[in-house]
Amino acid sequence: MHQALITDSAGILFILAGNAALWFFLEKKTGWKLFSFIPPLLFIYILPAFFSNLGLIPGKSGVYDWMGGNLLPLFLVLLLLDVDVRGTIKVMGRGVFVMLIGTLGVVVGAPVGYALVKGWLGPEAWKGFGALAGSWIGGTGNMAAVAEGLGTSGTDFGLAVIADNVVYLVWLPLLLQSKNMARWFHRFTGVSQDHLDRLKTAAAGLVVEKGKPAMRHLLYLIALGLGVAYLAGMIASAIPEIPPVLTTGTLKILLVTTFGLMLSFSPAKRIPGSHELAMALVYLFVARMGAKATVAGLAGQAVPFVAGAYVWIFIHGVFILVAARLLRIDVHTAAIASAANIGGAASAPVVAAYHDERLVPVSILMALIGYAVGNYAAFLTAYLCSLLA
C-alpha cells in the first residue's frame, strides 16, 4: 500500500476529531430526521475507515497506539466517576436486578448467536462479539475498552458497530411502544399501582446535576484519569497473562474499571464535567477504531454477524420478561432496564422520557450501573465465545 497522504500525528488527530465534531454539528444544527434512525456514532466510525482505505490517513500509526494506551483509560475513569450504586438501588429497587438479569441475558445470548453464524465469520470474530457485549451491557465507552483489551481488529470492531446500530433500529421502537402494552404487561407481572406511584415519586426527587465545570475541574479529571492509567498499567504488566482473553491489555482495562469504581465512592464523583469530557474522548476513540478497519472485510461478514446479533437480542429480551415476571416489575422499569443495557446512557433517558419524564434521572443512573459492570461481563462474554471459536 502506498504511503498515506497525511502521516503527521497532529494531522491524523485533526481528521479524527474533525470527523467526530462534524456529525454532532450536523445533528445539532440541521435537525435532519436521519439522525433519529442512524446516530452519529456510525458515521464517526465509517468515515475514517474509508479515509484510511483510500489512503488519506494510515491504517497503522503510532498515534493510534498512544490513544489506546492513554485516552482509553482516561475516559473509562471519567465515565465511572458518575456511577451511583446506592442511589440507583434506593430508587429503582428490584428494577436494578431486572437490568442485571438482562445483562445475564446478554452474556448467555452472545455464545448462542455466535455459534449459529461463526461458520460465515472470520476466526477472531468472537472478539467482535465481545466488543458488542461491551456496548450492550454498558455503552460505547465499554465497547471501545473491551475491543482494545481483546486486541479486536478494526474490521471486527466495525462489524460490532454495524450490528449495534442495525439492531438498535428495531429494538428501540419496541422499547418505546411497550408503553402501550402497560395494561397487559402489569397483569402479566402482577405489579401494583402503589409500586408505580412510589417509583415515580422517588425518581422525581432524584438530582444528578453536578454544576458547570470550571478549568480547574478539567485539570482534576485529567490528572485522575492519567494517574489511574499509569497505576493500572504498572500492575497489569506485572501479572502473568492467561490467553486468549486475560492479556495484559485486558487486565489493564479491568484494573482501570475497578479503580474508577472505587473513585465513584470518593469526593471525586462530585467534580463537574466528567461525563462530557469522557464522551468526547469516546467518540474520538471510535473514529480511531474506524481508521484501523478494512472496508472489504466489513462487507463480506456484516449479514451473518447482524443475524447472530438478532438471535442474541431476542435471548436478552426473554431474560428481561422472565425477570419482570419473577420480580413483579412494571413495563416502564423493564423497558428502561433493557435500554440501560442495549442503548446505554444515550438511549435509556429517551425511553424513560417516552414512558414518564419523571423517570429520566434514574434511567441515567441505571445506565451508569451498566458502565460499571460492562467491562467485567463483556470480557466474560468474549471468553465464552472464544471457547466456541
The pLDDT score that the predictor gives to residue 165 is 85
pLDDT tens by residue, 289-343: 888 877 766 777 999 999 999 999 999 999 999 999 998 888 888 999 999 999 8
CA distances from 380 to 262, 306, 320 (A): 21, 21, 20
Among 377, 379, 374, residue whose Cα is nearest residue 243: 379
**What is the C-alpha to C-alpha distance for residues 31 and 369, in angstroms, rounded to an integer?**
31
The pLDDT score that the predictor gives to residue 205 is 58
Residue 1: inside a domain: no
The pLDDT score that the predictor gives to residue 208 is 57
**What is the C-alpha to C-alpha distance for residues 337 and 92, in angstroms, rounded to an integer?**
10
The model's pTM = 0.83
**What is the C-alpha to C-alpha distance for residues 21 and 15, in angstroms, rounded to an integer?**
10
Render 16-64 in DSSP notation, one character per residue. HHHHHHHHHHHHHHH--THHHHS-HHHHHHHHHHHHHHTTSS-SS-HHH
H helix runs in 118-153, sequence order: 125-137, 140-150
Residue 3: inside a domain: no
Grid cell in block for residue 37 = 434512525
Using 70 as the pLDDT threshold, list the residues of the chain that sit under it: 1-2, 192-209, 296-297
257: domain CATH number is 1.20.1530
Residue 299: inside a domain: yes
Q: 245-269 as b/e, with b when 16 or more CB fall inside 10 Å? A: bbbebbbbbbbbbbbbbebbeeebe
Residue 41: inside a domain: yes
The pLDDT score that the predictor gives to residue 46 is 86
The pLDDT score that the predictor gives to residue 357 is 73
Residue 2: inside a domain: no
8 A C-beta contact, residue 15 and residue 24: no
The pLDDT score that the predictor gives to residue 222 is 96
**What is the C-alpha to C-alpha distance for residues 108 and 131, in angstroms, rounded to an integer?**
15
Count of domains for the chain? 1
Residue 199: inside a domain: yes
The pLDDT score that the predictor gives to residue 2 is 64
The pLDDT score that the predictor gives to residue 182 is 84
Report the half-sphere exposure of 375 (CA within 13 A, side-chain side): 32
**What is the C-alpha to C-alpha distance for residues 78 and 389, in angstroms, rounded to an integer?**
34
Structural domain boundaries enclosing 223 = 9-386
Residue 350: inside a domain: yes
Residue 4: inside a domain: no
**What is the C-alpha to C-alpha distance for residues 327 and 318, in angstroms, rounded to an integer?**
14
**What is the C-alpha to C-alpha distance for residues 356 and 352, in angstroms, rounded to an integer?**
6
